């Protein structure tokens, strides 16, 4: 790999760090091709990124980003999971690590806050942004649907009474 290719990799990884709401660092030692493909597909399906990184390139890319405190996490065979949703990358990686001991969560970052392994696992238990949006929409729609039901109920009671009288 020549100097220009390395520079391009650093720029690409730097933009990944800048555009992510959260980053999770993992060790992935001994993953088979099928396991790696399965993990990448799961990450892609949830709009997350998964990249195996060279530690030196990752450390260079971290400079001047909100994740610069994560430099010490890049030791050994590392990969990063990132996402615009603060929860999804952690959720997918933690769930995959439960079933596969070759993937080990090291830590991560949420904006300017470093996360330990236990913090990443706790983050994975939170609902995603899409889940929260759905709950909010449901809460907002509930009063309107109750109001419609209440306004229609007297008319339907009158219709049921007329129908019962006509059948007698």
**DSSP state for residue 140 in the 8-state scheme:** H
Query: Is residue 60 classed exposed, middle or buried when 0-12, 13-18 and 19+ CB atoms within 10 A define those classes?
Result: middle
Question: pLDDT digits over 124-158, tens only?
Answer: 888 877 777 787 777 677 776 666 666 766 666 66
pTM assigned to the model: 0.74
Based on the domain organization, do 83 and 141 belong to the same domain?
A: no
Based on the domain organization, do 24 and 75 belong to the same domain?
A: yes
Range(s) of the domain holding residue 160: 128-168
Closest CA to 90 of 18, 42, 36, 37: 42
Based on the domain organization, do 155 and 122 belong to the same domain?
A: no
Whether the Cβ atoms of residue 164 and residue 124 lie closer than 8 Å to each other: no
Based on the domain organization, do 110 and 158 belong to the same domain?
A: no
How many structural domains does the chain have?
2
Question: pLDDT digits over 82-130, tens only?
Answer: 998 888 999 999 999 998 888 999 999 988 889 999 999 988 888 877 7
């Amino acid at each position: 790999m020549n100097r220009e290719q390395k520079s391009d990799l650093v720029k690409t990884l730097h933009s990944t760090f800048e555009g992510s709401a959260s980053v999770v660092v993992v060790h992935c030692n001994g993953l088979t091709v099928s396991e790696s493909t399965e993990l990448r597909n799961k990450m892609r399906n949830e709009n997350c990124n998964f990249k195996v990184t060279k530690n030196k390139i990752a450390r260079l890319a971290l400079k001047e980003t909100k994740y610069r405190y994560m430099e010490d996490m890049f030791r050994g065979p590392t990969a990063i999971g990132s996402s615009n949703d603060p929860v999804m990358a952690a959720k997918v990686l933690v769930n995959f690590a439960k079933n596969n001991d070759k993937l080990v969560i090291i830590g991560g970052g949420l904006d300017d806050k470093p996360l330990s392994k236990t913090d990443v696992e706790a983050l994975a238990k939170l609902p995603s942004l899409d889940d929260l949006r759905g709950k909010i929409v449901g809460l907002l729609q509930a009063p309107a649907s109750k109001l419609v039901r209440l306004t229609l109920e007297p008319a339907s009671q009158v219709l049921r009474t007329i129908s019962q009288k006509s059948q007698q």
